[in-house]
C-alpha cells in the first residue's frame, strides 16, 4: 500500500510540470531569477513505529517493532517561480525520532517480549519540489495556500539498540528513494518576508541494514517502508 505513495507523488508532480508548457525558456529564466527565495521549516516530526523482519545469517529469526517517540523536523529550501502559480525549489531536510521500547516476537512463537531501548533514527533528505500557489481573494489579503510535493533521496541513519544488548538493533546507514506530499498557508508580512504553517507527508523506501552482531553472526534488518508526518512553521525571504 505504501509503495503506491511514490507513484502518486510522481504522477502529481509530472502533472504540475506539464501545466506551464506554453511558457518559453526565456520566460522561465526571467521568472526564476526575478523571484528567487529561501525558506525554512521547523516543527514536530511523527514517525510511526518501525517494524523489521530480522534475519540471522540470512535465516529468518524474528519480527521486531521499534517504538518511536515524537521527534523534530527542519528543512531549508531555495527556489523560484516558473509562472504566477507554480514554483520549483531544492530542499534539504532533517528529521529525528527517538527510540522507546522494542517488541520482539521470534519466528514460530506466539508471544511478544518487550525490551527497553534507546537511540535515534535520523533521516537526511535532498528533494526537488514543485508547489502550486493559490492566492486567496486575488492576493489582496496576502494569504496564499499551496499544495505540491517532491522526489529525491534520503540518507537513513539508524542508531536503534537494545539497552541490555547494545550490539543488537539496526545501527548503520542506508541511502533510499524518497518522495513527499505537502500543503500549507503562507502570509505575506512584508514585501520581502512571508510566514506560515506547513505539513509534509514523507515516504522513504524501507532500508535493509546488514551488520555483524556477534562471532560468526551477521544480522540483517529489513525495514518496512517509512511514512512519516511533519507539521511546522515556515519563514520565507524573497531575494528580489
Output the pTM of the full model.
Answer: 0.86
Percent of the chain with pLDDT over 90: 75
State yes or no: pLDDT of 12 exceeds 70. Answer: no
Residue written as cell 486567496?
136
Distance from CA of residue 164 to its chain's centroid?
31
State yes or no: pLDDT of 13 exceeds 60. Answer: no
Q: Cell for 138?
A: 486575488
Higher pLDDT, 84 or 79: 79
Residues 6+ apart with CB under 8 A from 192: 237, 238
d(CA 198, CA 231): 6
At 70, the pLDDT band (50, 70, 90 cuts) reads: very high
- The two most distant CA atoms of the chain are separated, in Å, by 69
Residues 6+ apart with CB under 8 A from 81: 31, 32, 34, 35, 87
Identify whether the C-beta of residue 72 lies closer than 8 Å to the C-beta of residue 44.
yes
Task: Please give the DSSP secondary-structure letter assigned to residue 23.
Answer: S
Q: What is the pLDDT of residues 18-58, one digit of tens each?
A: 444 444 556 666 666 677 999 999 999 999 999 999 999 99
d(CA 237, CA 29): 20
pLDDT at position 14: 47
Identify whether the C-beta of residue 150 lies closer than 8 Å to the C-beta of residue 127.
yes
Q: Mean per-residue pLDDT for 228-240?
A: 95
Identify whether the C-beta of residue 235 lies closer than 8 Å to the C-beta of residue 38.
no
For 75-84, 131-140, 206-215, 219-228, which range has the lowest pLDDT when averaged over its residues? 131-140
pLDDT at position 107: 95
d(CA 100, CA 122): 15
Q: What is the mean pLDDT of the chain?
A: 88
Amino acid at each position: 500500500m505504501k509503495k503506491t505513495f511514490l507513484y502518486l507523488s510522481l504522477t502529481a508532480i509530472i502533472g504540475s510540470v506539464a501545466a506551464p508548457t506554453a511558457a518559453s525558456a526565456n520566460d522561465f529564466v526571467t521568472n526564476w531569477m526575478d523571484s528567487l527565495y529561501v525558506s525554512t521549516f521547523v516543527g514536530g516530526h511523527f514517525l510511526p513505529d518501525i517494524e523489521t523482519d530480522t534475519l540471522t545469517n540470512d535465516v529468518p529469526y524474528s519480527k521486531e517493532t521499534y517504538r518511536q517517540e515524537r521527534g523534530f523536523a527542519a528543512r531549508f529550501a531555495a527556489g523560484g517561480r516558473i509562472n504566477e502559480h507554480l514554483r520549483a525549489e531544492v530542499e534539504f531536510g532533517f528529521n529525528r525520532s527517538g527510540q522507546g521500547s522494542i517488541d520482539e516476537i521470534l519466528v514460530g512463537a506466539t508471544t511478544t517480549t518487550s525490551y527497553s531501548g534507546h537511540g535515534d533514527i535520523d533521516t537526511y533528505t535532498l528533494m526537488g519540489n514543485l508547489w502550486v500557489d493559490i492566492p486567496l481573494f486575488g492576493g489582496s489579503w496576502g494569504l496564499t495556500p499551496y499544495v505540491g510535493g517532491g522526489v529525491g533521496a534520503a540518507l537513513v541513519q539508524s542508531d536503534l539498540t537494545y539497552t541490555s544488548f547494545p550490539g543488537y538493533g539496526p545501527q548503520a546507514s542506508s541511502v533510499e528513494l524518497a518522495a513527499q506530499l505537502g500543503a500549507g498557508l503562507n502570509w505575506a508580512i512584508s514585501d520581502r518576508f512571508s510566514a506560515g504553517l506547513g505539513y509534509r507527508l514523507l515516504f522513504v523506501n524501507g532500508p535493509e541494514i546488514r551488520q555483524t552482531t556477534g562471532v560468526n553472526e551477521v544480522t540483517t534488518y529489513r525495514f518496512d517502508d517509512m511514512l512519516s508526518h511533519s507539521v511546522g512553521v515556515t519563514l520565507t525571504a524573497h531575494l528580489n
